Amino acid sequence: MRFLFSLFLVSAMAFSQTREIIIDTDPGVDDAFALLLALRSPELEILAVTVVAGNVPSSVGLPNALRMVEIGGRPQTPVAVGAAQPLTRRAVHAYYAHGSNGLGDVPFPEPSIKPVSENAVELIRRLVREKPGKVSIVTLGPLTNIALALRADPDLARMIPRVVMMGGSLSGGNTTPSAEFNFYFDPEAAHVIFHSGIPLVMVGLDVTQKARLQEEHVRAMENGGTPASEAAGKLGRSWMNRAKAMGRTDGFGMHDPLAMAVFMDPSIVTLKKYYVDIETTGELTAGETVAWQSAPVRISAPPDGVTQSEVRAQKLEPNVEVAVAVDSPKFFQLLLGRLTSK
Ligand code: RIB
Ligand code: CA
């Protein structure tokens, strides 16, 4: 009897540690890795997967999200499509990095599950309002859906306990020299979130470029013996082949799966608080994440004369925790462990 009670207690404790999340994504090869990691992690209660335009149009990302939800073994997870365009700009997709189907041209079968009819932005609003303070959001793509939800319902900002985002960089961009792709695609949406007051964790290129998928990882996925690891192995192999064709031997940064892993175990990275703002007017720099720690001046020299006090960087309270270092082996141990778990 005592054994059964302790078994119940352990499972109840595990259940009590279940963490409710919404995953917003633009799948994308690395998004697919992140989705599979989350879907194979029983401590995560995935309330919804919401699709946003980014790597590929949302019409391409939606079936990819459905495919991963099905392969990941949680077909009942609500999947909804949201923004098809950035808030104000023309969409500049990244087929060059993710292939024509958004999944590295790996020929995954058509999904047999269907999306929900509710728009992603409405679904986000409803789920957050149903459980104020309980539903975190992990964003793997441009922040358009989240920005639209906040614009439609500003009170949401105080109901979201945390947004862990893949995006930004304090060490240069991967799309322009200044901007990382997710914030390059929709700088205005990123600006809304960085000024929302929501507790933010920014998992940017500073760390994701140091968590690089290598041949040994792909082999472990290919030999993992589960549908999730088999799918991940196909995605990884397509990426390694693409790297080889490009003459690259340093693998690929695991951008989105690292962001997902940081939500699950923040000890995988070192976090540092900064005040970060988003450049939205630069012809060359729009989407850049600009961080202040001790710089004395807040803005560029204005064209017309304004007082010195208006340009000085008054005390800028930190608004985001930025990942500045990563334990890459610990990340891959978590990723491979979950993908190969039966
Ligand atoms: O810059 C990398 C990010 O942009 C990743 O989320 C990738 O999937 C793309 O969306
Ligand atoms: Ca992405």
pLDDT for the residue numbered 1: 53
Cα(228)–Cα(340) distance, rounded to whole angstroms? 7
Q: Which atom of ligand 1 is nearest to the CA of 181?
A: 1
The closest of 139, 148, 194 to 166, measured between CA atoms, is 139
Q: Which atom of ligand 1 is nearest to the CA of 31?
A: 8
pLDDT for the residue numbered 209: 97
pLDDT for the residue numbered 287: 98
* pLDDT tier at 280, thresholds 50, 70, 90: very high
**Residues 24-63: pLDDT tens digits?**
999 999 999 999 999 999 999 999 999 999 999 999 999 9
Cα(234)–Cα(225) distance, rounded to whole angstroms? 13
β-pairing verdict for 200-203 and 163-166: parallel
* pLDDT tier at 15, thresholds 50, 70, 90: very low
Cα(240)–Cα(218) distance, rounded to whole angstroms? 8
Map tokens 């304090």 to a residue. Answer: 170
167: left (phi over 0), alpha (psi -120 to 50) or beta: left
Return the H-helix or E-strand segment holding 190.
helix 187-194
What DSSP character marks residue 247?
A: T
More confident residue, 191 or 15: 191
The closest of 232, 201, 182, 203 to 332, measured between CA atoms, is 232
Return the H-helix or E-strand segment holding 202.
strand 200-203
- C-alpha 140 to ligand 2 mean position (Å): 4
**Distance of alpha carbon 228 from the chain centroid:** 19
Return the H-helix or E-strand segment holding 256.
helix 255-264
- C-alpha 55 to ligand 2 mean position (Å): 7
* pLDDT tier at 2, thresholds 50, 70, 90: low
pLDDT for the residue numbered 12: 43
The residue to mutate among 140, 180, 186, having the most atoms of ligand 1 within 8 angstroms of its beta carbon, is 140
* pLDDT tier at 250, thresholds 50, 70, 90: confident
CB atoms within 10 A of CB 172: 14
Give the torsion sign (CA, 317, 159, 63, 76).
positive
317 has pLDDT over 50: yes
164 has pLDDT over 70: yes
* pLDDT tier at 10, thresholds 50, 70, 90: very low
pLDDT for the residue numbered 308: 65
278 has pLDDT over 60: yes
Among protein residues, the one whose CA lies closest to atom 1 of ligand 1: 181
Strand order in the sheet with 19-25: 79-81, 44-51, 19-25, 136-139, 163-166, 200-203, 320-326, 269-278, 289-292
Mean pLDDT over 7-25 rounds to 65
pLDDT for the residue numbered 169: 98
More confident residue, 9 or 298: 298
Residues with a CB atom less than 6 Å from ligand 1: 26, 28, 30-31, 54-55, 140-141, 166, 174, 180-182, 255-256
